[in-house]
Structures are given as C-alpha cells and as structure tokens.
A and B are shown apart, each in its own frame.
Chain A
Amino acid sequence: MGILKGAVTRLLKLLAVVLVVSFLTFSLTKLLPGDPVVVLLGPQYSNVEVREAVQEDLGLNKPFLTQYVQYLGNVAQGDLGRSYTSKFETTELLKQKLPATIELMLLAQLVSLTLAIPLALFSAFRSNSRTDKAITTASFGLISIPGYAFAVFLVWLFALRFNWFPAIGYQPISEGIVGNLRSIALPLTVLVAGLTAVYTRLLRSDLISTLQEDFILMARSKGLPTRYILARHALRPSSFSLITVFGIQFGTLIGGAVIIEQFFVLPGIGSLAIESILKRDYLVVQGVVLLIAISFVLINFLIDILYTILDPRVRRAGA
C-alpha cells in the first residue's frame, strides 16, 4: 500500500514538474532574441506588413498566455504543432529522430554498467593492487578526455586507418542489425568510455567502504565464497550512488548527444534540438524539451521506485 501511495504522490509531483517545464520552455523560447519568421523571410523581415501577415499565419501574433493555453490544449491531445520552417509535424520529427537517440542512450547505459560493475568489484576487492591502480588511472584518463577529442581519434583510427566502421551516418535497425551496430559503434564507444569511467570510480569507492562493514566481516567469517559476498552482500548496499548517478546521466547523455550526434551525423533528438534552436523553430524546440523532460522525470521516478525495492529502510520511511 505504501509503495502505491508513494507512487501516486510522486506521479502527481512529476505532472507538476512537466507543467512547469513546459511553461518555462514556452517562455524561454519567447524570451530568446530572434524570430522564426526571419528564417522564412530573410531580408523581407523588415517589411512590417509581410512580417505581420506571416506571424498571423503561424499564430505568433496572439498574446503569450493565449498561445500557451492553446499549446497545452493541443499537447494534451498529442498535437505538438508543426515546424514553422519545414512544416513537418513535431511528433513526426520526434518519431524520426527518437530511434537513434534511444538506441544510443540505452546501449550506452547498458554497456557501461556491464563493464563498470565487474571492474569496480574487482578494483574494490583488490584495492591498491596493480590492477586496481590501472583501472583507476584508466578511468581517470577517460573522464579527462573530452568526448569530442576522443571521437576525432576514434574516427581516425577505426574509420580511416582500419576502415572497420563508417565515419558518419546511422543505419536503422530495420535495415539490418549488423549495419546498425556498425553505424553506432563509434559514437557508442565515445559515450561508453565516459560513462564506464564514472560508474567504475563511483561504485569502487562505495564498495570499498561497504567492504569494511561488520556484516561483510561476518559473511567472510562464515566462510562464504568471495564471489558470493561481493555479489550478494556488498553490491546491493553499495549501489545507491550508482543508481542516482545512473538516472542523472540520462540527462547528461542527452546533452552530450547534441555534440556526438552532430559530429557523427546521427539523426537524433540532439541534432534536432540544435537545428531547431538555431532556426527559432519554437514548436519543435518545445516538443523536444518536453519529451526530454518527461523521459528524464519518468526515469528518475522509476529509480525512486528502485530505491524502495533495494532498500527496505526507504520503503519503511515512505510508509
């Protein structure tokens, strides 16, 4: 019952967050200097009569609040509006761009965790050993390298020298899984490198302190196998910071995706956002931000639930 009640309260809070985000985005795009009409009209923009005709046509001449309320009404019905410049439906654009971004983000998170957890376990268990130092140094190095620089290096090595992977472009999964994986291999590597490093360092330090707890000593004295202790006793209590950061990293990934997607010419949400911002294509910008906000909030909502599952104390406190 407690979990359910908590979930409902959280969901309501999330709804509020989404409303606030939508309002802020709506206001911010209006506050930005610039006007989508200029992109359409070029030098004709200074012709007030023409400018007003186009603004009216696009519904940009109405009072701010009227525009916002109308927008919200449309959003509630799943209509995010049409791009001012390309005339594509925003939902259509998002649908076109989502697969690449989602695939990249999910795979990046999944691969990073798969790599980071064993590395951290090993590193923490054998802390201060040579391997631990090597892992720590490598993580530190990877965190320090800017993604963009790493991307340039990867392209040089794997696309130009060895010609294993394409330097640009994205092949949808529908056109073949191998081609698809090849096309995202390099951008994925850039993202995974950074993430794995963060996760490994984080989990390692938490594990080290957990491993000094009495209950670990107890488990050892009972003669339980090391592997069992690490996986069953140490990992769970050490994973809270990891899970928090894991959720937050989705947000960071979206930010990082802007650069990575532009660089590797991936048709994703990041490149859609940047293009639309430059063109002051407000409805598309709002659509993208809304989608990101909702996903971010939902992911973190799921993570909150995960806490309660992982840690009985949270559950009890909630109840």
Chain B
Amino acid sequence: MTKYRHRSWRRMIALMTGLVFVAAACGGSDDSASTTEGDEPASKPTKGGELVFGAESDISTLDVGAAAQPADKVVTLGLYDPLMTYEDGELVPFLATSLEAGDGGKDLSTYTLTLPTDVTFQDGTPLNAEAVKKHFERLQDPTTACPCLDTVKAITNMELPNGPTGDTVIFTLASPDVAFGDTLAGSVGYIESPTAVAKYGDEYKNNPVGTGPFKLAEFVPGDRVVLVANPDYWGKDENGIQLPYLDKLTVKPIPDSGQRVSALESGDIDLFQTADTPTVKAAEEKGFSAQKISGSSSTILLMNNAKPPFNDVRARQAVAYCTNKDLINERVYEGIRQPSYSGFATDSAYYNADAGTPRFDLKKCQDLVKELGGLKFSIVCIPTPEADSVLQLVKQMGEAGGMEITLETQDQGAFVARMFARGGDYEGACFRSAQFQDPDAIRAGLTTDDAGNLAFYSNKEVDKLLKEGQATADFDKRKAAYDKVQEITGEEVPLITTLYDLFGNVYNSEKVGGLPPGEVNSLGAIKPGYIFVASSK
C-alpha cells in the first residue's frame, strides 16, 4: 500500500508577492526539503487568548486552491484543513483518514481517499465524498480561475463507491502521478462547504466556509481578517486539548517591513511573518524571538533559453561562473542565508551535491565571454530594494567578467503578466522558485513547453527523466532520475538559483507561547490552529 507515508509531495506553483516566482528550478526536492529552526515552544500549550498577526501583504484570497502567498496561507490554513499534510517531512493524512494508490500502491493513476465520518463544515454541512467531488469539479471549471487548473485537470474521474454521503472517493488520473498526495497537502487539498458555494456563488471568496479550526468573523480587505475559534473543530493536540488553542486571531497586513518591527515593539501586533532577512536580524537584535524557515525556494535568475544570447549554453554558464553568491549573501543578506546550487533544498533526499552546477570562477567566466566575443543582455525585475541590491551586484560581477548588463524594472502587475504570458520577450529576469517537498515540483519549470517553464528550457532527456520520476513511487528509481536531471541542468544551466530564501515568523515571547513548525510546502506559513499564547506569569 502506498500509504502516504514516505516521501513528500507538493507541487503547487507559487505565485507570490514582492518578487514573482515560479517553480522552475534546476533540481527538485523532495523529502525533508524544508527546515524550521529557531526557538521551539518552551512552554506547554494553553487554551484561550487572542493574538494579532502582522502579515507581509494584503490577504488576496480566502478561497481554496489559490492561496500561494504566506499571508493567504496562514489565513486559509485556519479556515480549511488540507486533506494531507507533512509531519517531520513525511506526508500523512490530515483531514483525510487515508490515501492509498491503487493495486497495492503500484498503480499511481488511481487513488482511494477515505474521509472521516464525523466532521462537519463550519456551517453544519457534513464532510463527505460528494463535498470532495464538488470541490474538485469547482476547481476544474476554468471560470473558477484557479492557478491549480493544470493540476486538477489531471483528475479524469471521481468515483464514489459508498455513495455521495459515503466516506470514499476513488480518483482516476490521466497518467501515473506519485505526487498526487503532495498536491492534496497544498491549497488544492482544502475542502470547502458545497452549501456555502451554492449559497454565495461568486461571493464565496468573501464568505469562506471550511472544516478548519477557525471561522471567519470579519474580512476587511487591506485592513484585517478576524478569525475566531470554531467550537466544533474536530482536531485535538497530542495532549487531547481541543484545537485551536486561540480564541481569536486577527491578521493585519503591514506592507512596510520596518513598520512591522515597530508594531511588534509597540505591542500593536504580537507576531509577524517576513521574507526579509535584515528584518529578522533587526527584530532578534531587539530581543524578539524568530522562527526561521528555509527550504528549496530561492531567488533565481531566469535566462531565456530560446533566444540569443542565452540560447547558447556558454552564455548561461558564463553568467553562472561570474555570480559570486557568497558575496551577495554578505552584502545583501548579512551573511545569514545559504548560497544555492540546486533547485532542491540541501537536506532533501534528492539533493545531488555532485551535480556539477557552476560555482563562482571569474577566470572561467572571462574565458567564456571572450570565446563568445562579448555578452550583452538585460535583466528585468520588479523594483524592490532587495531585487535592486541583488541585481546591482549581479551586474557588477558580470561586468567584471566582461559582460554588458542592462537592468530594467517593471511594476509587479506588468512584470507578472509579461512572464506568465510566456511571450518570450525577455533575456534575463528575476524570479523565485517554489518551496516544495516532492521532487516532482521541478517538473513544470523544466519540461518542454510547460506553462511553468518560464526559461523556455528544452531537453528531451530531462523531459523523459522528469516523467519517470513522476510515474514511480520507487525511491531509488526516482533518486536516480532526479540525480541525472541535476547533472544535466548543472551542465546546461537553464537558470541560476542564487540564495535559499529565509522566511521568519518573528514573535514577542511574552505574548506568544509557541508556534508550530513551518509548512514545508509553503513559504514560511504556519498552521494557526497550533499557535498559542504565553502562559501568564
């Protein structure tokens, strides 16, 4: 039985704020791709109390399937429960009671999902097979406009052997996919109340009803989301305490990172999330605690593999050899981040340390540029201080190797549209790769003509290996396939990963007792049901 127990999965391509990012990446990751470090909860969880959480960006969606930004994730993980989740790097059922691949685990194109029989949505609707089926049908409808469309379209049939009110759904997929369970661990696996969808229609987005630990009390876009405990929540912690711990959680978007620290200092908020490394450091210096989360995701430099100058592999290699990631780390991130030479996290079981990805070597870079007779290109990115500092450095480094680099900025809306339209009208661009567990996550970014392949990379062998990796549950076979992919991409450099991201959940330990570990398939988000207040002195 391939009971989702071993390797991990998750492949939602993440669209985020700040920078824009897609799961492209010259490697994939699986397994223990994400790590959380920092202050572990020192005190025992207590029930009750309320906290205010400062989010990095406005909450853009409360619907299922679409949550990608950490801010959206925190809220939606409160309202909904994913069918599957990761615990210590292992994929395990969460809302579901089990997920099994067909034919004793050998048939990866059929999956049987079993649900608990005693869970109801916050509006009293029972959770059953019909609700799950309707959920996926809704996401498959193009007008729902779910970024997950390709993923859910792979489901070709849903059978309810025990009837609509039963507890079982049998999924048939278009092709074998070992990462199906991983998919269900993301926002695609959040199940919404069919009654609420029917009642609110288009406005469901603002009236979300899930099975999660919190109910929505108030949503004022751009100002706050107020969540209150769901008294009928099914989940309990290991000590038998009913979740969530908190009575109320208010999430406030605070776009300015400096103001987030000030608000924590002044007591207006109790904790906040950030992707900005200097902010984490500044808050720690002021005596606040920080949970740091990193994994596979990193800021990447996309190169258009289909167009000069980067259709020449030597040009891509030259840029890679010229890029001194340690220097970027030191200058931009105060030396806290870790340079990345793979799309996989270094602690992933699929990470190939010997993939031969180019390391900084000015001489090699200069030789290649000479061989090419010069190298001239532009890099486009959105105008954030971070992107600006990184790209200025990349420009200087490239120029030391004899290149001519022009930096171009474009506002986020235009930039995202330009990249996602895949019109190919760029030479170099900044982006961010996804945070994922299952190595299949790299498939979209590297497969010829895939919507997620923004670098226009194409290599038949890589396509084949990625397909193989997706179609088997055998670890050794998968490992061999992804090792090879990393070797090929190490040589061909379809894109350059710079430094692994570092997400921080910064909190005032006088108010916050503890946080759950970071979600391994998300960019620093945590499950709010497990946040608790500090026990009163």
Contacts and interface: CB of A to CB of B under 8 A. Distances in A.
Interface stretch (A167-175, A189-197, A202-210): A167-175
Contact of A86 (B142, B206, B254): B206
B162 interface: no
B142 A49 contact: yes
Given A82-B202, A87-B205, A275-B222, A46 B145 contact: no
Interface stretch (B37-45, B129-137, B256-264, B392-400): B256-264
A267 B220 contact: yes
B234 interface: no
Contact of B413 (A57, A97, A277): A277
A86 B205 contact: yes
Contacts of A163: 266-267
A4 interface: no
A47 B422 CA distance: 9
Interface residues of B, number: 54
A278 B421 contact: no
A96 B222 CA distance: 10
Contact of B150 (A38, A44, A96): A44
Nearest to B260: A168
Contacts of A87: 202-203, 205-206
A265 B268 CA distance: 11
B254 A152 contact: no
B221 A86 contact: yes
Given A44-B149, A167-B265, A38 B416 contact: yes
A54 B143 contact: yes
Select the residue from A40, A43, A167 with max chain B CB neighbours within 10 A.
A43
A40 B145 CA distance: 6
Given A38-B416, A168-B268, A278-B411, A43 B13 contact: yes
Interface string B437-461: 0000000100000011010000000
Given A42-B147, A159-B266, A160-B265, A54 B413 contact: no
Given A47-B149, A267-B220, A279 B413 contact: yes
Most B-side CB within 10 Å, residue of A45, A264, A280:
A45
Interface centre among A42, A82, A88, A267 (most CB of B within 10 A): A42
Interface string A256-267: 000000111101
Given A47-B150, A88-B221, A271-B222, A265 B421 contact: no
A159 to B, nearest CB: 4
Nearest to A279: B413
Contacts of A47: 149-150, 451
B255 interface: yes
Contact of B252 (A44, A50, A96, A265): A265
B143 A57 contact: yes
Nearest to A52: B142
A155 B262 contact: yes
B205 A45 contact: no
Nearest to B286: A160
Interface in A263-285: 263-265, 267, 271-272, 275, 277-280
A37 interface: yes
B147 A41 contact: yes
Contacts of A44: 146-147, 149-150, 451
B257 to A, nearest CB: 11
A42 B223 CA distance: 24
B412 A37 contact: no
A41 B416 CA distance: 11
Interface in A128-153: 152
Interface in B236-273: 252-256, 258-259, 262-263, 265-269
A93 interface: yes
Contact of B142 (A50, A85, A159, A170): A50
Contacts of B414: 32-34
A43 B413 contact: no
A96 B220 contact: yes
Q: Chain A CB within 10 Å — which of B61, B143, B417 has the most? A: B417
Given A46-B420, A46-B451, A167 B413 contact: no
B58 interface: yes
Nearest to A38: B417
Interface string B377-413: 0000000000000000000000000000000001111
A263 B254 CA distance: 8
A306 to B, nearest CB: 34
B232 to A, nearest CB: 27
A32 B254 CA distance: 27
Contacts of A159: 262, 265-266, 268
A263 B265 CA distance: 16
Contact of B147 (A35, A43, A166): A43
A229 B278 CA distance: 59
A43 B420 contact: yes
Contacts of B254: 168, 265
Given A275-B222, A278-B411, A166 B421 contact: no
A94 to B, nearest CB: 12
Given A40-B147, A43-B444, A167 B268 contact: yes
B253 to A, nearest CB: 7
Interface in B192-229: 202-203, 205-206, 220-224
Interface string A44-82: 111101100110010000000000000000000000001
Contact of A33 (B143, B265, B417): B417
A53 to B, nearest CB: 4
B15 interface: yes
Interface of A: 32-35, 37-47, 49-50, 53-54, 57, 82, 85-88, 93, 96-97, 152, 155-156, 159-160, 163, 166-170, 262-265, 267, 271-272, 275, 277-280
Given A85-B61, A267-B222, 19 more contacts: A33-B410, A38-B416, A40-B147, A42-B15, A42-B22, A46-B422, A50-B142, A57-B145, A82-B202, A87-B205, A88-B206, A96-B223, A159-B266, A167-B265, A167-B266, A168-B259, A169-B268, A264-B259, A280-B417
21 contacts: A32-B413, A38-B416, A40-B66, A42-B68, A44-B146, A44-B451, A46-B420, A47-B149, A54-B145, A57-B142, A82-B202, A96-B221, A97-B222, A155-B266, A159-B262, A167-B263, A168-B262, A262-B255, A265-B255, A278-B412, A278-B413
Going nearest first, the 4 A-B pairs with the smallest beta carbon separation are A42-B147, A267-B223, A34-B413, A45-B420
